[in-house]
Structure 1
């Protein structure tokens, strides 16, 4: 996949899709920068990367993407001298109807899911131009479809999709590609962090078998595999794409 030796930043690498993606880049022989807020979880990801490639070069950065974007890029360049791939995976969600939510929720979600991506992209872009690298943003099916009770989250991901397309056009003349993946329901702890109890989450996963055309939910590796593809030269003629990794959910019209 031509990713050996490439310097890759994965934000939100401490769990879920981010952790799995970091491991897949390690398998490819990339130099992987793991960023996240939870040091213990990042070290677990570090161990998982070393388990699949004992010689992998890793850099752990304990950081919050909402406040440390410049630090993440600078620390990466100071360590490796270049940047080839930026995976904007860190994400955050909260539930609530417009009748109940307040502006603080709007700011929290937008700061993590959109503003941080803008800042990381801005600081990374000059270095990606030098290497003719690329960006993969982790969006969501909620960027393509509307869901009640997730107004702010859906809006942030729809904005991220449009940001992906616009930045793809900005950077295309420099031969820097920008794409996004839009996962459907994937088995991670994300929805539990949004507020679902164990029982609610189990019920949701069972219901999701009926909302995805393939009749099942997805695994983090299935998203990571798509990210690896988009980051590699195998997708050299793809930019500005938002790729659903959702078992066909985006194509469904429930009756």
Structure 2
């Protein structure tokens, strides 16, 4: 599934699914723009991506989103693939006094940033008949206590994907969304949990799967690679679940 001469933007590329995807793209010959907030982590990922463009940015800020597109075009001259992977978690209970502030932060990063980046990249993707892959979650389908913000952002991302897929299909641009179940990344620690607490949480997630396993980031990266390749040329507007059977259990 060679991506030779393709130019890909991967947000949230400093760790987890984003880092694994960027590395896999580079291995397949793509020129990659790595986007993330942590410069040090981006630099580590970059060492495995040949000669990538490193963009330290906060995707929830419009000026940063604009800079991501401008710097990619300036460096590589085009955009073939946009992977909207950047996302955050956060506990939101509708009875909590501060819920709206946390809700807005989650929505701005998980949903609005994807809308803005898609808007800015679309004109370039039309020229290359390119691909957009949004990274959602089974939380878009299955709610859990304390995740009203996260679940809502992911459900919105799924529906946004379908709407844009329909709009861009006449231009030859495919748009899909992937809905992972539990994947072992640093998202829980990024929410302020200790390493031990994160491990315990992943062990609990394992028990919620039919296959009794938690995925690693490379599994999702493999799926993303397949979706952006010509082997998936008939797939657009699809929500693709990779969850170890979480959706099978009540």
Q: Identify the TM-score tier after normalising by the shorter chain.
A: over 0.9
Q: Tell whether 2:94 aligns with 1:90.
A: no
For residues 192 and 246 of structure 2, the distance between their equivalents in structure 1, rounded to whole angstroms, comes to 23
**1:179 aligned counterpart, secondary structure:** strand
Within 5 A, what are the aligned runs for 1:175-214? 175-214=172-211
Structure 1 window deviating more from structure 2 (112-121 vs 93-102): it is 93-102
Alignment of 1:1-255 (within 5 A): 1-49=1-49, 56-67=50-61, 68-100=64-96, 101-253=98-250
Maintained 8 Å contact 2:92/2:103: no
Aligned counterparts of 2:59 and 2:178: Cα–Cα separation in 1: 19
CA positional deviation for 1:207: 2.1
Moved more, 97-106 or 76-85: 97-106
**Is the CA contact (8 Å cut-off) linking 1:146 and 1:154 kept in structure 2?**
yes
> How much does 1:209 deviate?
2.4
Paired residues of 2:2 and 2:29 also in contact (CA < 8 A): no
Q: Which residue of 2 aligns with 1:52?
A: none
**Tell me, what secondary structure is at the counterpart of 1:215?**
coil
Q: CA deviation at 1:70?
A: 1.1
Contact 1:140 1:157 in 2 (8 A): yes
Unaligned segments of structure 2, at least 5 residues? none
The question of whether the paired residues in 2 share the 8 Å contact of 1:10 and 1:88 is answered with yes
In the superposition, the TM-score normalised over structure 2's length comes to 0.96
Aligned residues of 1:86 and 1:134 also touching (Cα < 8 A):
yes
Question: Cα offset for 1:158?
Answer: 0.4
Q: Number of aligned pairs?
A: 247
Runs of 4+ in 1 over 4 A off after TM superposition: none
Q: Secondary structure at the match of 1:180?
A: strand
Contact 1:183 1:244 survives alignment (8 Å)? yes
Partner secondary structure for residue 21 of structure 2: helix
How far did 1:37 drift? 1.1
Check the 8 A contact 2:165/2:175 in 1, yes or no. yes
TM normalised by structure 1 equals 0.94
Deviation of 1:135 (Å): 0.1
Structure 2 match to 1:53? none
Do the aligned partners of 1:2 and 1:233 also contact (CA within 8 Å) in 2?
A: no
Deviation at 1:181, TM superposition (A): 0.8
- Residue 196 of structure 1 and its aligned partner are, at CA, apart by 3.1
- In structure 1, the gaps of 5 or more residues are 50-55
